[in-house]
Structure 1
Amino acid sequence: MHFPKPAILLLPLPLVFAAALAQAQDWRPDTPGTQHQIKRSDLPANPKAGDPEGSLPATVKVVSPPAGALPKVPAGFTVQVFASGLDKPRTMRVAPNGDIFLSETGTGRVLVFRANAAAPAKPEVFAEKLDRPYGIVFQPAANPQYVYVAAANQVVRYPYHSGDVKASGPAEVLIDNIPTKRHWTRDLALSRDGKRLFVSIGSSSNLGVMPEKKPADIQAYEKAHGRGAAWGDEENRAMVRVYDLQTRKLGTYATGLRNCSGLAMQPGTDNLWCVVNERDHLGPQVPPDFMARVGEGDFFGWPWYYLGDNEDPALKGKRPDLKGHVRTPEVLFHPHAAVLSLAFYDQNAFPAEYRGDAFVAMHGSHSAPATGYKVVRVRMKNGQPTGGFEDFMTGFALTGDSTWGRPAGVAVTRDGALLVSDDAKGTIFKLTYKK
């Protein structure tokens, strides 16, 4: 099954309640089930650009959780601590046999929890000595022979047989010398036919600090790197790259994505989706983070544009040739929510209306008032997003400037539970539903 590529405009959103961006900036506790819709018409028309590369103050503090605190989830769901004592647990991926693979970025390890592990679960060390491992994928998908891991500086693969909890051979480097300045989260996804590996590589700056190029030189550069591709320190960054597993050739798949922190293939389709952290210098309401279906050759605007033909005021008039060529994403989130990962729900343990929807982890904003710090459910209909989303797992943020957790990874287990990693406190939560 393959759904047609979406048009540039956002899809109709008749069934979701609107939530103005301005309201999101007045901090208030989130509640499971609260629905949101952010539209382009909610955005301020003329945002003012601040210092593009100025550092943002980290005014939201991570504090100790209240005694006995657990995240809030919808009625009928139960949440428990599945594992704890981890060092910055991030991406989780479930092997075909049900084993749970975890990137523990604080130690440079890839860990494995057995499929039947009960809380408090203890992992095995599958691989170690990696530079901030993040993305994980199994290939071939149904009966894997390899586990691919994306570290900050390279993509490697390990030989694998179902049930392995330790790599049976050394890492084979497939993609090397990835620059690590600034954004270092490299996620992975595999094409449905198992022939192509997608790799997300974020930018090295907030707004693309690049030397000047003549128009003719830009045109020649884009023939090799893709429409809207940045250059200088940003060469081969702010994009999704694609690696042909047969020819071993690496190329550009999509451009203009400041930091695509999470990749996922929509089950049963050829549709690649990513969640993106947008730029920081246009204030608290612009631009939204987003979730988008990413097609080959798509350009999403960074650094010159955002959300279609909205020109970044800091780069006004620099690239008029790109106007009209910017893909608009399907789902908009609150600005600075720091979306990190997504997972489609393809099991049957949750109520039927959840099947096909996506869960997205929001790591949370650097500065107050707190935005994000939750897991949201992106509603889908016939394989297409409605454009809206609703709060699903909340309760981490205590006030507008403090939180006791930061959701980082989401994964759906073989028995239909949802796992959520919290890299602030080194915990994995497990959510189940009782019928």
Structure 2
Amino acid sequence: MKTIALAILASFAFAGFASAQQQASPLQGKDAFGGWRDDKPGVWRLIRPGDLTAPDLGGSASNSADKVAVPQAAAPRLPQGFSATMIASGLRGPRVVRVAPNGDLFVADSRANRVLVYRLDGSGKVAEKGTFADGLRQPYGIAFHPADRPEWVYVANSDSIVRFPYRDGDLKASGKPETIVSGIPANHHWTRDIVFSSDGRTLYLSVGSGSNVAEGIGKAPEGGIGAWAAGEAPGAAWGSEQGRAEVRAYDPDGGNGRVVATGLRNCSGMTLQPATGALWCVVNERDGLGDDLPFEYATSVKQGAFYGWPWYYIGSNEDLRHAGARPDLAGKVTVPDVLIQAHSAPLGIAFYQGSQFPAEYRGDAFVTLHGSWNRGTRTGYKVVRLKFDNGRPTGAYEDFMTGFVVSDAAVWGRPVGVAVAKDGALIVTEDGSGTIWRVAYNGK
């Protein structure tokens, strides 16, 4: 315990690193991979498809982290001028956080099967809180509809989408949930995110795979895959993976279900890019190919696109565990927009449109990395900033919020949810210790 305590003190002694001054140009290739000891605010990384290493079929390392209590006076490490304040603690499993039009924070406490509401005062502290709904089933995604004056709060359970009647300022749902989508496969990857299109006419739903790489399912039946006439994009899965590893779309009432894109192993977090209205998601890729393969990613989700799972990854790189199974799909794989270090486990994404942070942050995106359990040197456990230039991703990302890892064996925080508060602060949830943080900029 004494060793851990010393490591904690060392970790927090370096808070407040400068951003752009610390890393003038991004680390590239293998230099961009690193591990938790290399993480600090201001480090930029750029990973390209050509940086893929050779697969190692020996499998992934088993390196789960031991959880330790939040250290006294703990604070994540941030770029110079930023500070983090813990605004809630003691939650069982805070995951997605979304901001209502009136500024209230809606948080999916997934392990407790409930959705909580936090109302902040002018100083960013919690003034009121409530349990909006409980008795849910591993709730995750949350969406408001219509966007400007919502009448409904939508919640994605692991196996369904429900909606509750809502009035501005409700801290507790005034009515029982109405199920609008049912029968969603719920085992293995259970995180279901939802988001409405900018015009409010389409509800998007992410459904992760039911396995690592469709092991034991075998070759897909002839004619059953890539059936455009049936509305499926190339590479739609089959058998126990039918209807999984994809993004779906529905009308607001849950009708007219259709497939948007496939081959996305586990799109855990979705959002819209304000500048373009494009749908974006962050994806947990497969395991079992070694410490540095394949890369996780953030990407715009294109209608009809196929992103490779389970046959290919990061373009037409064939997974040797399905060698020769689908040569017809090799030229149909969409390469993701931003590549992130393997096994980082991205879970949440939010574009910054506030005015509190410096102007260069506007239009960029923040992504939470839950952290590795299967890499020899621990990676992830941080929040990163994806750089955009005139609405287009540059491919580079910056370590923004670090300091959750205590040692090679122990961590106290695992970032999950991210959202931009009405006042422009950044809200981050982590389910390692069950806390919620507010990141603000004061320019000092």
Same fold (TM over 0.5): yes
CA change 1:145–1:27 in 2 (3 A) is closer
Residues 154-211 of structure 1 show CA distances to partners (whole Å, capped at 9, x for unaligned) of: 1011111111111111111011121211000000110111010000000000001324
Classify the secondary structure of the residue corresponding to 1:86: coil
1:189 is matched by which residue type in structure 2?
V
Larger displacement relative to structure 2 (291-300 or 112-121):
112-121
Residues 1:73 and 2:78 are matched in the alignment = yes
Residues 201-242 of structure 1 show CA distances to partners (whole Å, capped at 9, x for unaligned) of: 000000013244443343548734321011111111000010
Assess if the C-alpha contact under 8 Å between 2:234 and 2:262 holds in 1.
yes
CA change 1:339–1:220 in 2 (3 A) is closer
Q: How far apart are the structure 1 equivalents of 2:32 and 2:65?
A: 18
Assess if the C-alpha contact under 8 Å between 1:222 and 1:229 holds in 2.
no
Q: How far apart are the structure 1 equivalents of 2:138 and 2:273?
A: 26
Q: How far apart are the structure 2 equivalents of 1:20 and 1:400?
A: 23
Assess if the C-alpha contact under 8 Å between 2:189 and 2:208 holds in 1.
yes
Residues 296-338 of structure 1 show CA distances to partners (whole Å, capped at 9, x for unaligned) of: 1111000000111111111111101101111111111110000
Residues 51-97 of structure 1 show CA distances to partners (whole Å, capped at 9, x for unaligned) of: 6xxx9634322222433221001110111111111111010000111
For structure 2, which runs of at least 5 residues remain unmatched after alignment? 1-23
| Aligned position for 1:94 | 99
Indicate which of 37, 40, 47 corresponds to 1:28. Answer: 37
Normalising by structure 1, we get a TM-score of: 0.92
Residues 1:109 and 2:114 are matched in the alignment = yes
Assess if the C-alpha contact under 8 Å between 2:95 and 2:416 holds in 1.
yes
| Aligned position for 1:250 | 257
| Aligned position for 2:3 | none
Residues 1:235 and 2:247 are matched in the alignment = no
| Aligned position for 2:55 | 47
Classify the secondary structure of the residue corresponding to 2:328: helix
CA change 1:110–1:56 in 2 (3 A) is farther
| Aligned position for 1:57 | 62
Please state how far the C-alpha of 1:36 moved relative to its aligned partner.
0.5
1:167-206 counterparts in 2 under 5 A?
A: 167-206=173-212
Classify the secondary structure of the residue corresponding to 2:294: coil
CA change 1:20–1:247 in 2 (3 A) is closer
Larger displacement relative to structure 2 (391-400 or 208-217):
208-217
| Aligned position for 1:314 | 321
Residues 1:385 and 2:390 are matched in the alignment = no
Assess if the C-alpha contact under 8 Å between 2:140 and 2:156 holds in 1.
yes
Assess if the C-alpha contact under 8 Å between 2:343 and 2:379 holds in 1.
yes
Q: How far apart are the structure 1 equivalents of 2:224 and 2:392?
A: 39
Q: How far apart are the structure 1 equivalents of 2:207 and 2:254?
A: 21
Please state how far the C-alpha of 1:27 moved relative to its aligned partner.
4.7
Q: How far apart are the structure 2 equivalents of 1:191 and 1:395?
A: 35
Q: How far apart are the structure 2 equivalents of 1:309 and 1:222?
A: 24
Q: How far apart are the structure 1 equivalents of 2:438 and 2:58?
A: 40
Q: CA RMSD in A?
A: 1.9
1:210-225 counterparts in 2 under 5 A?
A: 210-220=217-227, 223-225=230-232
| Aligned position for 2:5 | none
1:284-299 counterparts in 2 under 5 A?
A: 284-299=291-306
Q: How far apart are the structure 2 equivalents of 1:300 and 1:346?
A: 28
2:80 is matched by which residue type in structure 1?
A
Residues 1:350 and 2:366 are matched in the alignment = no
| Aligned position for 1:279 | 286
Please state how far the C-alpha of 1:402 moved relative to its aligned partner.
2.0
Q: How far apart are the structure 2 equivalents of 1:217 and 1:297?
A: 16
Assess if the C-alpha contact under 8 Å between 1:81 and 1:119 holds in 2.
no
Indicate which of 153, 164, 175 corresponds to 2:170. Answer: 164
Please state how far the C-alpha of 1:256 moved relative to its aligned partner.
0.2
1:116 is matched by which residue type in structure 2?
D
1:182 is matched by which residue type in structure 2?
H
Indicate which of 307, 330, 333 corresponds to 2:337. Answer: 330
| Aligned position for 1:341 | 348
2:37 is matched by which residue type in structure 1?
R
Assess if the C-alpha contact under 8 Å between 2:347 and 2:417 holds in 1.
yes
For structure 1, which runs of at least 5 residues remain unmatched after alignment? 1-14
Normalising by structure 2, we get a TM-score of: 0.90
Larger displacement relative to structure 2 (241-250 or 255-264):
241-250
Assess if the C-alpha contact under 8 Å between 2:420 and 2:426 holds in 1.
yes
Q: How far apart are the structure 1 equivalents of 2:226 and 2:349?
A: 34
CA change 1:342–1:218 in 2 (3 A) is closer
Classify the secondary structure of the residue corresponding to 2:230: helix
Please state how far the C-alpha of 1:121 moved relative to its aligned partner.
5.7
CA change 1:178–1:380 in 2 (3 A) is same
Classify the secondary structure of the residue corresponding to 2:315: coil
Classify the secondary structure of the residue corresponding to 2:37: coil
Aligned-pair identity (%): 47
Q: How far apart are the structure 1 equivalents of 2:76 and 2:341?
A: 20
| Aligned position for 2:161 | 155
